[in-house]
Amino acid sequence: MSQYYDLGDRTLWTPSNGTSRLFMSQVTVYQAEVGLSSGIGPMEADECQIDPVAFAAFVDALLAWHSKTRHAVMATMSEGFVATVLALAEIASIEVSWQGAKRAESHYLKTASDPHAKQWTAELQQKSRELVRHMAP
């Protein structure tokens, strides 16, 4: 069985019930972290609607939050969810503001001893693009 994430009459993603349940639980967690509604409505009869304006704001806030997270465990734990949300935004044709993430990355590079730090944004973009292939209906 699948659940449906819709934007108007367009289905964006049809994950299994288990994947959807985990995703929705994480949505709740990250809404609290960034202090914004995700724009992802409640799941009713295996369907939910996504508000594109609220979702776009959430995606940008989530990406900015993640780009400032320098705690290794927290960054690793959140990376999969952030990549999934970015992929969903791409499927929805929502433009993501990468400038904040790139600024945070640039600032971090001035003080970082991590030789892989400048690859962070490119790797996250690549990971989200790979997920699009698995998520697009």
Instruction: Give the DSSP letter string of 74-125.
Output: HHHHHHHHHHHHHHHHHHTTPPP--HHHHHHHHHHHHH---TTGGGHHHHHH
What's the pLDDT band for 107 if we cut at 50, 70, 90? low
pLDDT average, residue stretch 78-95: 97
pLDDT at 82 over 50: yes
Residue 4 β-bridge partners: 47
Residue ranges covered by each domain of the chain? 4-135
Checking DSSP bridges between strand 10-13 and strand 4-7, what pairing results, if any?
Answer: antiparallel
Residue in this structure with the two tokens 């349940």, named with its chain if needed: 21
pLDDT above 90 covers what percent of the chain?
68
Average the pLDDT over each of 39-53, 81-95, 102-116 and give the range with the smallest value: 102-116
Residue 85 and residue 96 in contact, taking contact as beta carbons nearer than 8 Å: no
Q: How confident is the model at residue 103 (pLDDT cuts 50, 70, 90)?
A: low
